[in-house]
Chain A
């Protein structure tokens, strides 16, 4: 069959464009984890929307629900959207394939329009609030998250988080949602500024070139299989992050200068050396960032939030404990999973397979324990500043429950760490956490009704689950093949 033909059928431009748009849409809808995410959010969003149609309609009580409905999709979906868009546009094919850009940019603009404008416009009449305030809210959370994810910088994301958390205060709810009629000019200005920034992001995506700092594609990190080019790109992203931060550079170099010579053959020395392969800086330093987050969030929630004013101590402590549990727990397995391609080389270091895996597990769990301790000291500071009286028994019980549930989360994250797909690891470990953390919350809600024996049983059960999961994870790593 001839590869070329003179009988070329000329298709109208608009028809070609429509066909291309359809194909671009397919690249989004064929993402399995997009559907899982949408189902997950659907489960949360739909009941919230229905609640806002009931007795809370057009009332201040309905405002927190609306804040959640508008805010959460922005924070959760925008980084995913940026990742997928970059995987398509921060690529040589975007420059070399004819007519590549129009269809891709139209789809991107359509998705942004849906999130930033259509969703608030749809939700506003249902909940009975002014649409402009909700659109401004969506813009104020979504657009900084868009640019923050794009540039891989934390400062714009901080703006998004600040706006989102302002919705936990009564003045924040009033300003954005309940009394938005009084701030029409400012909200209109925020919407206009948001449109300019969102459009400029699309423009930037259409102009990406390899020499640019933001020409980075981290999307494939989510998935099991990567090409060598994608691996190179991910290497560069990490190196760029270190290069951009003088603090990270300085601390990292100081830490690595303490590597020393031969580890000496002992287990402790081995764990110390292997810890260098987990992160660019020691956990005692990188953990300070999370301690600062815990302090900021804790002080804000206990001193200024609606929850504090309504006497919702349990809810606040639950949230902070959850933060202090999940992060150290998840870290153990995730850092090991990200190290997997390098462990394929380290398996040939002069260590037995058992020695290497045991020491890697010890290094990961040690890091998690240090971070857990740091975050719980910060939690203690927050509670002390709040001036709430807590009995010694309550504090001891909280620490025991928190420690045992963290051990269970560590076990769950280590158990899924041999899986190559990051998306699969996150989905399964988050589900596991939803099952493991309720005993802690149940105790906090009804601690007066739970006696010491029941508490001890819960602690014992969570510890047993954690130890079983860690042992199972160890077996999986010992039998792992490095394809």
Chain B
């Protein structure tokens, strides 16, 4: 079996008195796209920065391509690409100069591929970095991260500043990359519809811990919404084991469950003498249910 591209074991990160990550375990296998989801402040960016060696873990281990992330070799870094939440570059340089500057560090920089990306995304090569809009700068950041065609691409909310058209084009390119070669991607975003298009696996982060890690399809199979319609009014004591959220209104109830099971539904039907409709949820609804459910 292949060695995971990224392996995180018992990762803890504390800033001052604040424990941001609390014992994270995570592995990203080669050729997979792992979507990272979590509310604001849940620790997604901290996890990514620890994984890339930008932050030093308080405790625990992180290995990238089998190397300690804090002391990555040049060879390992040549296989890595990163698009940060906030792209920074040299404001006085023209875009083409920044591309040439970055290319100068990579032995295998793909100039033709970069040119194609710049044409496709209408990158203004002659403009200075300082005069670009936030979205344009983000696009440049994506081109810079893809130019050496990394094996492992880490994206921290890469499309947050892009317009819908640019976002769509970016996702298209990402899907093309996934078809062409065995690309491994760690993709953090709040735009769940994007994740549904590209990610096979998802990790949901909450309060510094991984709340779910697995296949996206498995998550959708597990989290469901149940709509109860009973013959009589449901009592205030109405409850469903393992419910994330439960709303009762007379003879109707809406319940979200984290571990859906057909046997549970049959049991509930009998217990409450009710018709139960089972609804599938999309990733955004699942995320909201899991996030709100944790704070009820």
Contacts and interface: CB of A to CB of B under 8 A. Distances in A.
Interface of A: 228, 231-232, 234-243, 252-253, 256, 259-263, 265, 273, 276-277, 280, 341-342, 344-345, 347-353, 355, 479, 481-483
A281 to B, nearest CB: 9
A373 to B, nearest CB: 25
Interface string B100-113: 11111111010000
B56 A481 contact: yes
A352 B97 CA distance: 24
A481 B130 CA distance: 25
Contacts of A482: 49, 54-55
Contacts of B107: 262, 265, 350
7 contacts: A236-B91, A243-B128, A273-B101, A342-B90, A348-B53, A352-B72, A479-B56
A239 B55 contact: no
B13 to A, nearest CB: 10
Contact of A239 (B88, B100, B131): B131
Chain A contact surface mostly: helix
Nearest to B79: A350
Given A238-B130, A242-B128, A342 B89 contact: yes
Given A256-B93, A263-B105, A350-B74, 15 more contacts: A234-B91, A236-B130, A236-B131, A238-B92, A239-B130, A259-B97, A259-B101, A261-B104, A273-B105, A280-B93, A348-B80, A352-B73, A355-B74, A483-B15, A483-B55
Nearest to A232: B134
Contacts of A242: 92, 128, 130
B77 A351 contact: yes
Q: Would you list the 4 A-B pairs with minimal beta carbon distance, nearest first?
A: A239-B130, A280-B92, A350-B78, A238-B91
Nearest to B87: A345
A276 B101 contact: yes
A240 B54 CA distance: 31
Nearest to B54: A482
B82 interface: yes
A242 B53 CA distance: 34
A351 B76 CA distance: 9
A344 B88 contact: yes
Interface of B: 15, 49, 52-56, 70-75, 77-78, 80, 82, 84, 86-94, 97, 100-107, 109, 128-131, 134, 148
A345 to B, nearest CB: 6
B23 to A, nearest CB: 20
Contacts of B75: 350
A87 B84 CA distance: 27
Nearest to B45: A483
Contact of B52 (A253, A341, A348, A350): A348
A161 B74 CA distance: 49
Contacts of B93: 252, 256, 276, 280
A261 to B, nearest CB: 7
A353 B102 CA distance: 17
A256 B94 contact: yes
A349 B97 contact: no
A262 B109 contact: yes
B101 A277 contact: yes
Contacts of A235: 91, 129-130
B188 to A, nearest CB: 16
Contacts of B105: 262-263, 273, 349-351
B94 A349 contact: no
B88 A342 contact: yes
B53 A347 contact: yes
A11 to B, nearest CB: 38
B6 to A, nearest CB: 14
Nearest to A343: B88
Contacts of B134: 228, 232
A231 B88 contact: yes
Contacts of A252: 92-93
Contacts of A236: 91, 130-131
A353 B130 contact: no
Contacts of A345: 82, 84, 87-89
A4 to B, nearest CB: 29
A259 B71 contact: no
Nearest to B130: A239
B74 A351 contact: yes
A253 B94 contact: yes
A348 B55 contact: no
A242 B107 CA distance: 31
A171 B292 CA distance: 78
Nearest to B111: A261
Contacts of A280: 92-93
B107 to A, nearest CB: 5
Contacts of A240: 130-131
A48 B134 CA distance: 51
A385 to B, nearest CB: 35
Contact of B128 (A239, A261, A262, A273): A239
Contacts of B86: 228, 231
B88 A341 contact: yes
Nearest to B49: A482
Contacts of A352: 71-74
Contacts of A483: 15, 49, 55
